[in-house]
Amino acid sequence: MTHPGIRAPGGLEFTRDGELLVANAGPGPDGVLRFEFVMVDFNWRAKPKGGIDLDGKGASDLVLARTVGFVLSEKQTPLIKLSPERAGGHFGISQVGFVLPGKNSEAAIIALVQYDPGGYTPVHYHPDMEQAEIVVSGRALWEVGEFEREVGPGDVIFCPRYAKHGYKVLATNPSSSSNWNGGTWATGTNPQTR
């Protein structure tokens, strides 16, 4: 397969629906080219399907999920307000999922999460996964194990398996974070916010 946009492939990945993603490297703007495969005269042909520019404008629609390639976002709507029941006991939370088990990953959640002013998550723990958060905006009080800290933009919180942790938004502004949960879910499960 040849394509004028492919300069130096830095990674290849097939999505679950059969698209081929090619990560460009080398001179020129980095990006990801998308191809779908169509049958022409009993031969499979790669048909360009556009691409994703990584100049910062489209980067939120792309997640580096494996060292060998990229996975397209599952983001189809803006942040979605979740009920506490649907959010697994989190209160005042909205989320956009980028990578979810059963969709485009075997065992991970990568999401942008926002809590309303006064939003919180009661202290709990996960026996089957680690959790990491990077605070994007706002201020919150995090409790992890025996530690309690106020966090803000740029702070990173890591919760190992079995470590009790909880979260409470401070002040009158929302707090948002980039959330990663990784563990040992069975293929085909699709948990909500953890």
Residue 82 has pLDDT above 80, yes or no: yes
Band (pLDDT 50/70/90 cuts) for residue 56 is very low
Q: 59, 52, 56: which is closest to 35 by C-alpha?
A: 52
What is the sign, positive or negative, of the torsion defined by CA atoms of 67, 70, 74, 75? positive
Q: Are 194 and 97 in contact (CB under 8 A)?
A: no
Q: Write out the CATH class of domain 80-183.
A: mainly beta
* Residue range 109-134, pLDDT digits in tens: 878 899 999 999 999 998 888 898 98
pLDDT given for residue 96 in this prediction: 82
pTM for the model stands at 0.59
Domain range list for the chain: 8-72, 80-183
Query: Which two three-digit tokens encode residue 107?
Result: 């065992």
Cβ atoms of 174 and 116 within 8 Å: the answer is yes
In angstroms, the CA 79 to CA 169 distance is 17
CA distances from 50 to 17, 36, 40, 85, 103 (A): 16, 10, 20, 39, 21
Instruction: Give mean pLDDT, residues 47-57.
Output: 61
Encode pLDDT of 152-189 as tens digits.
988 889 998 899 999 999 989 999 888 888 765 444 34
Quote the tokens at residue 122. Answer: 């009661």
Give the residue-averaged pLDDT of 40-64: 61
